[in-house]
Chains A and B, each alone.
Chain A
Amino acid sequence: MVPGVTHEELAISVSGLRKSYADNVAVAGVDLAVPPGEVFALLGPNGAGKTTTVEILEGFRTRDSGQVSVLGIDPAKADRDWRRRVGIVLQGTGEFDELKVHEVVRHFARFYPNPADPDEVIERVGLSEKANSRTHTLSGGQKRRLDVALGIVNQPEVLFLDEPTTGFDPAARREFWDLIRGLSHTGTTILLTTHYLDEAEALADRVGVIARGTMIAVSTPAELGGRHLATATVSWRDDGGPRSEETDRPTEVVQRLAASFGGEVPELTVTRPTLEDVYLKMIGENGQGAA
């Protein structure tokens, strides 16, 4: 539970969530608390239970047990008023074949009482040049941006993004991140699942790691797995070849090296474990390799 926020004030709250399919347990007791305005990233290998969890929160799937509340309402009993306040970007891209981008966005805007201006939404997701193109002519990344446009056209209070940037080129991902940051600044609560650790690091206030249907860690990206406390590795080269030293006090080591080399230290680097290192270690310890 997030300190200082009561249960009722949370945008998303989950406790003891369980869901099994015929032959396997998809979610085996997930707890989650996301306060309003937070960007929360759900990390985990394929088959860990991310999508099942998110789709239960979206009201698409039933659960076996546990408490779930999104905007104070159980998604299993979601009514149309609730749907008006929630934005959903599903994992797969949907196509509307022969319809044009602006026709689709305009049509979905009709479903909501206070939609954003469709042209502005198209602009925000960077599809203005394609507004008059039929959706089947869009590239994978452009289709995904159309998905996002349909997810935000209602100006949602809570936005679910299931692997939103899969198939994006690096530049498109950066643009997408800016879009998400913009939404976050306007107070939208965002729950996103992703495979990309740099994405989680760039966007999320907090990350949760799911493995085998349970949440094995929840933390800020900087502190996940005690990463901020981990020892640093100082590496350099001397006459004998590459050298490295693990230390809690890297600055001292660097000063010592600088003194002994009398200036520049050849090939000096100071590194700490990346989010990816920490994540892979966690997943590995849980016996579930990144599939």
Chain B
Amino acid sequence: MSTQTVEQETAQPAARQAGAGGLSLALAQGGIEFKQFVRTRESLVFTLLFPVMLMLIFGSIFGSTIITPPGENPAVTLSQYFVTGMIASGIMATGFQNLAITIPIERDRGVLKRYRGTPMPKWVFFAGKILCVAALAFIAVVLLLGVAVALYDLRLPDTGQKWFTFGWVSVLGLIACTLCGIAFSGVAKTGRAGPAVVTPIALILQFTSGVFFEYQDLPHWMQQFAALFPLKWMCQGLRSVFLPESFASQEVAGSYELGRVALVLAAWCVGGLILCLLGFRWTTKREG
């Protein structure tokens, strides 16, 4: 009898840890990550405010240039078009760039190795990153939307359908970008190499996916290239939310292709997860 009691007592904490405890651990991990992020001024400025700054700069350059054919109603300005691309970019910045740059730094510093030395389940580490990124992406999108509504006549979605589309495009896009960011963190050998490896990729995608230029005006090969990656489809999905139905005729396919948007983004989520499992490293190479 007495031995049984002892066994129960020792078994209980382990069970608690594995079940509901795991979830609260993931939330705590997300909280710690978020705290670390918002207290680092550089990451706050570059990840959250940089897209807003870009939006302001390009917005003042483009002004109210109308990109719809003359006489068409409602008219769409270049600034409005650009805003949708910047929202997609903001999601990519918090998911992909942020993680692909910060994880190698943490690996260099031995932070990841230290977590590996604890009984924290591996998934809790990734869950923490994802929760943190989700909170940051939410803030980034709200900031961008606020500025766009105030300065560039962007109209918030007026139907539940459009809000729904906004929701799933953002969430799928964010998941794809986050997983790719974690996977890509294995590419930079050192923390210092991170930005040099990641920034050009982000810039190239932004130029070819219809963020800085109208996608339909780009050379065909460039369109084909961008269509392989998630950013183009995130931009396109967001255009369907924030630009009028009639603007769909300006798209290369003549429609917003929401089915294909969902399909490509979902495929990137799956692919990203696989790359993540293959590419992630807890320790630096020389530590083997």
- Interface 1/0s, chain B 111-137, versus A by CB < 8 A? 101101111110000000000000000
A110 contacts B35, CB within 8 Å? no
Evaluate contact between A107 and B32: CB separation under 8 angstroms. yes
Residues of chain A with a CB closer than 8 A to B13's CB:
113-114
Partner of A111, one of B109, B110, B111, B120: B120
A-B contact pairs, 5 of them (CB 8 A): A21-B288, A62-B288, A83-B117, A86-B117, A108-B118
Q: Which residues of chain A are within 8 angstroms of B40 by Cβ–Cβ distance?
A: 97-98
Smallest CB–CB gap between A52 and chain B, Å?
A: 10
Distance of A11 Cα from B258 Cα, bound (Å): 61
Considering only CB atoms, which chain A residue lies closest to B28 in the complex?
Answer: A110
CA gap between A107 and B29 in the complex, in Å:
8
Assuming A80-B119, A112-B119, A113-B14, is B109 touching A94 (CB within 8 A)?
yes
A residues with a Cβ closer than 8 A to B are 21, 55, 58-62, 80-81, 83-84, 86, 88, 90, 92-99, 103, 107-108, 110-114, 134, 150, 154
Residues of B within 8 A of A96 (CB): 36, 111
Choose from A59, A62, A94, A107 the contact partner of B28 (Cβ within 8 Å). A107
Q: How near does chain B come to A90, taking the closest CB pair, in angstroms?
A: 6
A90 touches B17 (CB 8 A): no
Judging by beta carbons under 8 Å apart, are A83 and B283 in contact? Answer: no
Chain A residues positioned under 8 Å from B119 (CB to CB)? 80-81, 83-84, 111-112
> Which residues of B lie under 8 Å from residue A107 when comparing CB positions?
28-29, 32
Q: How far is the CA of A14 from the CA of B36 in the complex (A)?
A: 40
Q: How far is the CA of A107 from the CA of B35 in the complex (A)?
A: 12
Beta-carbon contact of A113 and B17 below 8 Å? yes
What distance in Å separates the Cβ of A144 from its nearest Cβ neighbour in chain B?
A: 13
Complex: how many Å from CA A154 to CA B13? 13
Given contacts A110-B28, A113-B14, contact A150 B114 (CB under 8 A): yes
> Residue-by-residue, is B262-288 near A (CB-CB < 8 Å gives 1, otherwise 0)?
000000000000000000000100011
Please state if A95 and B32 are interface contacts (CB–CB under 8 Å): no
Q: Is the CB of A98 within 8 A of B288?
A: no
The yes or no answer to B171 lying at the interface (CB within 8 A) is no
Q: Which residues on the A side are within 8 Å of B120 (C-beta)?
A: 111
Q: Within the complex, what minimum Cβ distance (angstroms) separates A166 from chain B?
A: 15
Question: Looking at the complex, which one of A60, A80, A97 makes contact with B113 (CB distance below 8 Å)?
Answer: A60
Bound-state Cα–Cα, A264 to B224, Å: 98
A61–B40 Cα gap in the complex (Å)?
33
Contacts of A88 in B (CB 8 A): 114, 117
Residue of A with least CB distance to B31 = A107
Q: Does B248 contact A (CB under 8 A)?
A: no
Q: How far is the CB of A211 from chain B (nearest CB, A)?
A: 22
Cα separation A60 to B36 with both chains bound (whole Å):
26
Nearest CB on A from B19, distance (A):
13
- Give chain B nearest CB distance to A79 CB in angstroms: 8
The answer to whether B121 and A94 touch across the interface, beta carbons within 8 angstroms, is: no
Residues of A within 8 A of B121 (CB): 80
Chain B residues 1-51 with CB under 8 Å of chain A are 13-14, 16-17, 25, 28-29, 32, 35-36, 39-40
Residues of B within 8 A of A81 (CB): 14, 119
In the A-B complex, the 6 residue pairs with the smallest Cβ-Cβ separation, listed nearest first, are: A113-B13, A98-B39, A80-B119, A83-B119, A88-B117, A111-B118
Q: In the complex, given contacts A60-B116, A99-B39, A113-B13, what are 14 additional A-B residue pairs having Cβ atoms less than 8 angstroms apart?
A: A62-B288, A83-B118, A83-B119, A88-B114, A88-B117, A90-B110, A90-B113, A94-B111, A94-B113, A95-B111, A99-B32, A99-B35, A110-B25, A112-B118
Residues of A close to B14: CB separation below 8 A: 81, 113
A92, closest chain B residue (CB): B110
Closest to B17 in A: A113
- The CA of A80 and the CA of B14, in the complex, are separated in Å by 9
CB distance B117 to A99 under 8 Å?
Answer: no
A134 vs B39: C-alpha distance when bound (angstroms): 10
Docked complex Cα distance between A124 and B32 (Å): 24
Q: For B28, what are the chain A residues with a Cβ–Cβ distance below 8 Å?
A: 107, 110
CB distance A98 to B109 under 8 Å?
A: no
Distance in Å from the Cβ of B41 to the closest Cβ of chain A?
A: 9
- Given known pairs A96-B36, A103-B32, A110-B25, the reply for A60 and B117 (CB within 8 Å) is yes
Chain B: minimal CB distance from A131 (Å): 16
Query: In whole angstroms, how far apart are the Cα atoms of A121 and B255 in the complex?
Result: 62
In the docked arrangement, what's the CA distance between A95 and B17, Å? 26
A84–B118 Cα distance when bound, in Å, is 7
A90 touches B114 (CB 8 A): yes
Given contact pairs A58-B117, A113-B17, A99 touches B109 in the complex (Cβ within 8 A):
no
- Closest A residue, CB atoms, query B37: A98
B34 to chain A, nearest CB (A): 11
- Of B14, B118, B283, B288, most buried by chain A (CB within 10 Å of CB) is B118
